[in-house]
Structure 1
Amino acid sequence: MAASSRSARETKRRIQQMEAKRELRKEQEKRRKRDNILAAGAGTAVLILAVVLQLTVFSSNPTEEEYAAAQAGLTSPPATPSATPSATPTNAENIPKPETAAGKVFTGELVLNRGTLGVEFDGTKAPQAAAVFKSMADENFFAGTSCHRLTTAENFGVLQCGSTTGDGRADPDFTWGPLENTPADNKYPAGTIAVARGGDNAYSNGRQFFIVYKDTEIPADSAGGYTVVGKVTSGLDVVSNIAAAGLKPGGNPTDGPPVEPVTIDSFSLK
């Protein structure tokens, strides 16, 4: 009887061990699935963040709210400066009239600390934008400002200039519109000069502009594309050489400040 009792207890103990092992394997499997889901979610957030940061290259630098929104997995960050396209400028009294440039083509030079570019600004296609930049050139506004942002992706090559703060922050006291001469196919050929603006707002153009140094495609947002105001007529290799030098290390590998600081010595149009 005693031997039989011990045998029964041993059998019961083995059954309990087997059940415990099965439960442990089930829990481990659940944990692996949960970890995989979390890893996939993190990967998606990183991808969305990269896309968001890339598409905001012609806006002011992403705010903390925009960064948090991207990390949360939103398809786009809150627009800057407003969430919906504006119908009218907020400070029209500060903006030169488009009539001052309508029907005119201005030529001149953009002198960087890295070399000189010949430029042409077209008031026949973008009179409001040409009026704004002609006025700022006449005021010598750009002297000493920086070209703070460079992109070096395979199909996305631009140098953004005109930042007075050096970090790309927009000037809320100088915004204007409407959008003009935006490419229907979202393609910006090498040599294009276009106006930087905030996302999803046709009246968020400012003082910053970007130079396209290789054929680039920029998806339009809800407001449209980016105003093409002119082109580089000579010296585009200056920008290509800036791009070839690369970006400052430690940040986005294809989007950030040039490794060698780039500033504007002068900008003239006549």
Structure 2
Amino acid sequence: MAANDRQAREERARLRTYQARQEVHRRAVRRRSRDNVIAGVGLAVVLALAVGAQLFYFGGGPGTPEASPTPTPTPTATPAPVPSADLAEDRTWTGTLTLNDTALAVELDGAAAPQAVSSTISLVDDGFYDGVPCHRLTTEGIFVLQCGDPNGDGTGGPGYSYGPVENAPADGVYPAGTIAMARQSGNAESQGSQFFIVYEDTTLPTDAAGGYTVIGRVTSGLDALTADVIEPGTSDGSTDGPPAQPVTITGFSLE
């Protein structure tokens, strides 16, 4: 009888040991599953943030996912008034846009893009562009130099925004020398102070807002700009980034 009792106690002890090991195993499995879920959620959040940041950066057009001038920012709670479209006087304006030491002769078409040209005239008269950088150069797919952001990072503007898109080419072709307004992707009412200069013929697809407002063209000086600013490329060697040769608007006059 004593031997049977001892055997029974040993069997119960082995059972408890087995059950304890099984419980440890189950807890370990649950812990690994929980950790995997947390890691997966964390990775998803990181990827979402990264994609969101890229979409924000590339979403401001001139309209291709690969590279596009950055958006004019959302207006402040008390935006400045948009200059009257009458300022453009339905005529051609001529002047000089100086980037560093490179003087570009320009023409702005006040008849074809009265609101955008009026805004540009107002900003020029107010000295808004003095010392403002050209913060973005694209060298593949689209060929533009983007300027006019006082923050120098694609987020700045004049304190107001306007639309709709004016004078966009129906075929989406922007010839070398074109000067056009940057905007947010799909938002025709997001134009402000940022503009881009096309230094090589570029085709830009339209989106829900249409194309990009062409305000005028460079009539001379584009070759010098290409040699001084475009050919050195971007600061990090990428196809889309700040120019390796820093660029500042040192003068802008219109008459």
* Same fold per superposition (TM over 0.5): yes
Q: State yes or no: 1:194 paired with 2:180.
A: yes
Aligned residues: 196
- 1:205, distance to aligned residue in structure 2 (A): 0.2
Q: Name the counterpart of 1:16.
A: none
Aligned to 1:244: 231
Alignment of 1:86-235 (within 5 A): 94-153=81-140, 155-171=141-157, 173-235=159-221
Q: Relative to structure 1, is the Cα distance of residues 168 and 238 closer, same or farther in structure 2, using a 3 angstrom cutoff?
A: farther
Offset of 1:120 from its aligned partner?
0.5
- How far apart are 1:93 and its partner, in Å? 6.1
Contact 2:182-2:195 at 8 Å conserved across structures: yes
* Identity, % of aligned positions: 48
**Which aligned pairs between 1:27-106 and structure 2 lie closer than 5 A?**
53=58, 55=65, 57-60=68-71, 81=74, 94-106=81-93
Runs of at least 5 residues in structure 1 that lack an aligned partner in the other structure: 1-41, 62-79, 83-89
Amino acid at match of 2:254: L
How many angstroms does 1:91 deviate by? 7.4
Change (3 A) 1:81 1:102: same
- Partner Cα distance (1:92, 1:177) in 2: 14
| Deviating more after overlay: 175-184 vs 94-103 | 94-103
Greater Cα radius of gyration, structure 1 or 2: 2
SS, match of residue 245 in structure 2: coil
Flag structure 2 segments of 5+ consecutive residues without an equivalent: 1-46, 59-63
Work out whether residues 145 and 198 of structure 2, in 8 Å CA contact, stay in contact via their aligned partners in 1: yes
1:143 and 1:198 map into 2 onto residues whose CA distance is 24
Calculate the TM-score normalised by the size of structure 2.
0.70
Q: What CA RMSD, in Å, does the superposition of the two structures yield over aligned residues?
A: 2.6
User: How far is 1:185 from its partner?
Assistant: 1.0
Deviations 1:54-73, CA, capped at 9 Å, x for gaps: 54622339xxxxxxxxxxxx
